[in-house]
Amino acid sequence: MTKYFAQFNEGGRTVVQVHCVHDNLAPTEAKGIEFLNKLFKKDNVEFKQTFKDRSQRAHFASKGHTYDDDNDVFIPEKPYPSWTLNTEIWNWEAPVAHPLADDPTKLGAETYYWDEPSTSWKKQ
């Protein structure tokens, strides 16, 4: 088994890389962080464990995600300026519901994209 650790940018909370560490080197989050600190030998490198099954910290961390210390969650990059963060599910949401949100039977048959200048969904 392996554990995964998000590495933050120096002095910040943006994920720059995700490392996997075998369980025998990281039986706990603290031991995994200790191992990575020894491996990288840098003072300003910070790590936080991330979980593929999303059982903790809301999302599996990826490059560009940010970490919210107060809520102990990874947050994906904001896709568009008009979108807002839903703090119940820690996902970004458009200001207008997707046209197929109420009719999932059409998923795949119709394709829409977000048009930021008009803040609306457009059919492709």
Q: Tell me what the mean pLDDT of segment 107-123 comes to.
A: 90
Distance, CA of 72 to CA of 54 (rounded, Å): 12
Q: 91 is written with which tokens?
A: 């996902």
- pLDDT band at 107, cuts 50/70/90? low
Q: What per-residue string of b and e applies to 75-86 under the rule 16 or more CB within 10 Å gives b?
A: bbeeeeeebeee
The predicted model scores a pTM of 0.86
Domain ranges (residues) in the chain: 2-93, 97-124
Predicted confidence at residue 121, as pLDDT, reads 96
Instruction: Select from 74, 65, 75 the least CA-distant residue to 14.
Output: 65
The answer to whether residue 50 scores a pLDDT higher than 90 is yes
Amino acid 11: pLDDT:
83
C-alpha torsion 35→41→44→48, nearest 10: -20
Lowest mean per-residue pLDDT among 3-7, 37-41, 102-106, 116-120:
102-106
